[in-house]
Structure 1
Amino acid sequence: MDYMTLKETSEKWRVSVRQINYYCTADRIPGAVKMAGVWLVPKDADKPIDGRTKQGKALKHETI
């Protein structure tokens, strides 16, 4: 499986490195692993829904 670093993932998803780190620590990215203190995200991983936006809140409530 191919992996990306937090920086590569943040550029791909257009969010901050800190936000990607939060997603990883909260187990919101399936397949993300921490090796030698560095998070690695699978290249085929989907961006988690951001519940802080109106669109994200609507999607979050639909799945519940």
Structure 2
Amino acid sequence: MDYITVKEAAEKWDVSPRSITYHLVAGRIFGAVKKGNLWLIPAAAEKPADLRRGKKKC
């Protein structure tokens, strides 16, 4: 299986590396593993939906 880094995933999905780390810690990127202080993300992983940005309540 091929893996990419947080920086590569951020460029691929056009988001910040911090948001990728947020999703990794929350367990929203399936198949990702942490080796020491390095996250490895499967190259075929889907971009997770950002649940922090839902519909605004009035």
Given the two structures, how large is their TM-score scaled by the length of structure 2?
A: 0.86
Task: Figure out how many residues of one structure are paired with residues of the other and give that number.
Answer: 55
Determine whether 1:17 maps to 2:17.
yes
Write 1 or 2 for the structure with the bigger share of helix: 1
Residue in 1 aligned with 2:6?
6
Q: Determine which structure has greater relative contact order: mean sequence separation of CA pairs < 8 Å that are 6+ residues apart, divided by chain length.
A: 2
- Percent sequence identity is 56
Unaligned 5+ runs, structure 2: none
> Could you tell me how far 1:50 is from its partner in structure 2?
1.6
Aligned-partner Cα distance in 2 for 1:37–1:27 = 16
> Could you tell me how far 1:53 is from its partner in structure 2?
5.0
Unaligned 5+ runs, structure 1: 55-64
Q: Where in structure 1 do 4 or more consecutive aligned residues deviate above 2 Å?
A: none
* Structure 1 vs Structure 2 CA RMSD: 1.5
